[in-house]
């Protein structure tokens, strides 16, 4: 009976995923065709992403709790930990944001299109030859009043610990004259229980787990309660050591992060 119930839930949510992904892409395509201003276009992309992800989270049984929410007028570089695609869905529903992601993601069929139509800023993690242009693009959008989300770990992890931060892109905040808003993302509950290794591979995207497998496992879950805790903002200076900035911001997030509990 339990297996049948999970199968029905998976099929229903896959249908929902297809329906709302199609709606999201059609709306984004209309924005592309009708909005000539690149900044207004990106703004509209983010609003479309908020709409779609808010509905998707409700349909997929994802409850969201935001602690110390940012004022609507606040903009800057938003920095947090990254475990998988669920935390992206959650953050995309919390407020209009531009996500910084890799060119590898851009080149991935279907996912790349979703990212482009969400207004993402792309960086080439396989080669740092274009880093200054990528940094300039981030600074430009921060100065234009966008909220830009950066995952300085540069990859998702298994929920055990927050990985060391890459430093260069964090300097965008200082050059744009905006604060860094750190936040900690935690799974407060999964299937009405604690976040343990029993469910880790259903919410964390790491190692050899492929995206389709990760998505299917997540859609099979009964419920997920995600907690986003915004922490004390950091106001970087242009002449400040970037290693110090990265370590300070990471330390704040580490203190608020609750690692996966191991089940023996």
Domain boundaries of the chain, sorted by first residue: 2-256
Q: What pLDDT is recorded for position 104?
A: 86
pLDDT above 90 for 212: no
Spatial distance between the Cα atoms of 264 and 259, rounded to a whole number of angstroms:
15
pLDDT above 70 for 1: no
In this structure, of 55-69, 107-121, 169-183, the range with the lowest mean pLDDT score is 107-121
Give tens-digit pLDDT for 170-199. Answer: 999 999 999 999 999 999 999 999 999 999
What are the Cα distances from residue 152, in Å, to 40, 79, 108, 236, 243?
A: 26, 7, 21, 16, 12
pLDDT above 70 for 6: yes
Q: Where are the beta strands (DSSP E) in the chain?
A: 62-67, 77-80, 98-102, 121-123, 148-150, 180-190, 224-230
Q: What is the DSSP letter of 60?
A: T
- pLDDT band at 130, cuts 50/70/90? confident
Tell me what percent of the residues of the chain surpass a pLDDT of 90.
80
* CB of 100 closer than 8 Å to CB of 151: yes
The first and second tokens of residue 242, run together, are: 């970037």
Tell me what percent of the residues of the chain surpass a pLDDT of 70.
98
For the domain covering 2-256, report its CATH number.
Answer: 3.40.1130
Transcribe 139-194 into DSSP letters: HHHHHTT--EEE-TTSS---SS-PPPPP-GGGHHHHHHT--EEEEEEEEEEETTB-
* CB of 106 closer than 8 Å to CB of 112: yes
Give tens-digit pLDDT for 218-241. Answer: 999 999 999 999 999 999 999 999
Q: What pLDDT is recorded for position 256?
A: 98
- pLDDT band at 4, cuts 50/70/90? confident
The first and second tokens of residue 103, run together, are: 């060119």
Stated pTM of the model = 0.93
- pLDDT band at 264, cuts 50/70/90? low
What is the overall mean pLDDT for the chain?
93
pLDDT above 70 for 114: yes
Q: What pLDDT is recorded for position 125?
A: 74
CA-nearest of 230, 258, 176 to 65 is 230
Q: What pLDDT is recorded for position 3?
A: 81
In this structure, of 37-41, 45-49, 85-89, 123-127, the range with the lowest mean pLDDT score is 123-127
Beta-carbon contacts of 52 under 8 Å, excluding residues fewer than 6 positions away, are 20, 21, 23, 24, 27
Positive or negative torsion for Cα 21, 46, 184, 102: positive
């Amino acid at each position: 009976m339990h297996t049948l119930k999970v199968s029905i839930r998976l099929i229903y949510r896959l249908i929902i995923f297809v329906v709302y992904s199609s709606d999201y892409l059609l709306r984004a395509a209309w924005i592309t065709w009708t909005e000539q201003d690149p900044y207004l276009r990106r703004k509209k992309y983010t609003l479309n992403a908020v709409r779609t992800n808010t509905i998707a989270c409700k349909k997929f049984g994802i409850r969201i709790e935001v602690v110390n929410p940012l004022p609507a007028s606040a903009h800057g570089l938003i920095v947090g930990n990254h475990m998988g695609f669920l935390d992206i869905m959650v953050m995309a529903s919390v407020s209009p944001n531009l996500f910084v992601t890799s060119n590898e993601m851009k080149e991935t069929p279907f996912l790349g299109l979703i990212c482009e139509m969400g207004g993402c800023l792309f960086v080439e993690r396989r080669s740092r030859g274009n880093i200054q242009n990528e940094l300039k693009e981030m600074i430009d959008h921060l100065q234009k009043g966008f909220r830009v989300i950066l995952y300085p770990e540069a990859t998702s992890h298994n929920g055990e610990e927050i990985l060391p931060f890459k430093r260069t892109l964090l300097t965008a905040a200082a050059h744009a004259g905006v604060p860094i808003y750190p936040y900690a993302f935690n799974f407060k509950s999964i299937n009405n229980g604690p976040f343990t290794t029993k469910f880790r591979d259903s919410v964390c995207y790491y190692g050899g787990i492929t995206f389709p497998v990760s998505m299917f496992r997540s859609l099979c879950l009964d419920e997920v309660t995600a907690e986003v805790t915004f922490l004390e903002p950091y106001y970087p200076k242009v002449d400040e050591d970037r290693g110090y900035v990265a370590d300070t911001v990471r330390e704040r997030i580490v203190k608020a992060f609750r690692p996966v509990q191991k089940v023996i």
